[in-house]
Chains A and B, each alone.
Chain A
Amino acid sequence: MNELTTIILRSIAISGTATLLASAWSIPLAYLLSGSYRLRHIAYLLEALVGIPTVLVGLLLYMLLSNAGPLGFLQLLYTPQAIIIGEALLITPLITAVSYQTLKETRTRYTELALSLGATKQQAARLVITQSLPNLLAAIVMGYSRAIGELGVALIVGGNIKGLTRTITTSIALYTAMGEYENAIMLGMVLVLLTIGISLLVRLVRKRWDIE
């Protein structure tokens, strides 16, 4: 495999894992928030954090993971895992906020429906989730697009190490610094195609799914 292909696949894998991780806690969190009137302020806070700068997340995580930082003993700095954690944190507000919006809409309706038809709490929750899936999927895709397109976290905690933590965006930055604009633009195009491709795919799935 040539280096560019590896970089592209690595980016997909890192952002994909980060998105899975973030979804694994964001969607349950959104579900929790959507059901509580008192916790709505947390949802507002997360909404406000949707646009949090990637370099800030990267810097804070660097301070944590650095050997001089409190989590230095984990030896995660300059690893793909560090980027995964950073990107997962970065997109948590986004996935949670968007999921919260859609769950808040569907939750009352479908919970009431399920309960009125005799469902247990768990059965009602399952109905809410399955009915919200198309929109939750859209939230996940948004998170993925932000993760794969971000630079700050990957550069600061990943270190742009060749063959280990070099991603599409850090390569673009490096190629730009090296004056090799052709490669930078090529990777930029790949990035755009990747995000467009994924959202088209999801649109297709949603269309078959969301038969409204």
Chain B
Amino acid sequence: MGYRISLDNVSYKYPGQNRYSVSEISIKFNPGIVYGLIGSNGAGKTTLLKIIALIYKPNKGKLLYNNSDPWNNVVFYRRSIAYVHEKPIMIRASVYNNLAYPLKIRGISKEEINKRIDRVSRLFGIQDLLGKNAKTLSTGEKQIIGIARALIYDPEVIVLDEPFSNLDYHKRRILLDVIDSQASQGKTIILASHDTLMIEKISSKILVLENGKALCFGPTRQIIEKLYEYSCNS
């Protein structure tokens, strides 16, 4: 089961900057639902995702996972979160070793690692890439490896930053199916994208960010309509 994640007046500012990149966000994310996060460049999407994924600690406000503060046991909670960067970072090693890395740091056995890599690479159709050097892959291939690498440890919370941007039609289809099936397993899923079409297709609820603030939040259909009418105010 995924976590109920709640943000209460959460703000974050980067060290050495005066302006808050994310300010006073209050929102609840529930398990089994796909949330879409939209907004223009610099609206604070990535920052908010990193706060949710426990990479940035909020300067102000409260972040709770199932009513407890995840920062008290942060490694434990992170191990059940998949966070994939907009431009996935590849480790200087083969694709196989990239996929194995999160499992190795959890002390999982070699056989189990092989089994999971086998499963996930069949799921994403990346068997041919396993022996390749991850640094030499195309952007799209890196994106799918990054997602596969984050899903391999079966996380409860899935946070993806622009997951569709570099994928071809075929891989988009695969990813949509994977997200659907993860949602039906009760995972908490949050996606950011400026591809409104994809967000509209996959998510049930949408949060619109502007200048680090929540502009509006609600069911997808409702928010999309508001956006068309330029009447988005929460």
Please name all residues of chain A whose beta carbon is closer than 8 Å to the beta carbon of B221 when the two chains form the complex: none
- Total chain A interface residues with beta-carbon distance under 8 A: 20
Give A154 to B123 CA distance when docked, in angstroms: 63
The verdict on A41 contacting chain B, using a C-beta distance below 8 Å, is no
- Total chain B interface residues with beta-carbon distance under 8 A: 27
Give A112 to B50 CA distance when docked, in angstroms: 9
The number of residue pairs between A and B whose CB atoms lie closer than 8 Å in the complex comes to 58
Instruction: Decide: B135 and A113 in contact? CB cutoff 8 A.
Output: no
Residue of A nearest to B50 (CB): A112
Give A123 to B156 CA distance when docked, in angstroms: 22
The verdict on A5 contacting chain B, using a C-beta distance below 8 Å, is no
Contact of B105 among A37, A123, A209 (CB under 8 A): A123
Please name all residues of chain B whose beta carbon is closer than 8 Å to the beta carbon of A211 when the two chains form the complex: 92, 133, 135-136
Give A31 to B123 CA distance when docked, in angstroms: 39
Please name all residues of chain A whose beta carbon is closer than 8 Å to the beta carbon of B149 when the two chains form the complex: 117
The verdict on A115 contacting chain B, using a C-beta distance below 8 Å, is yes
Contact of B153 among A118, A120, A131, A209 (CB under 8 A): A118
The verdict on A110 contacting chain B, using a C-beta distance below 8 Å, is yes
Residue of A nearest to B90 (CB): A113
Instruction: Decide: A113 and B85 in contact? CB cutoff 8 A.
Output: yes
Instruction: Decide: B92 and A120 in contact? CB cutoff 8 A.
Output: no
Instruction: Decide: A116 and B83 in contact? CB cutoff 8 A.
Output: yes
Please name all residues of chain A whose beta carbon is closer than 8 Å to the beta carbon of B15 when the two chains form the complex: 37
**Can you list 11 A-B contacts with CB-CB less than 8 angstroms, sorted by A residue number?**
A113-B91, A115-B54, A115-B55, A117-B102, A118-B75, A118-B78, A118-B79, A120-B105, A123-B105, A127-B101, A209-B92
Interface residues of B (CB under 8 A from A): 15-16, 50, 53-55, 75, 78-79, 81-85, 89, 91-92, 101-102, 105-106, 133, 135-136, 149-150, 153
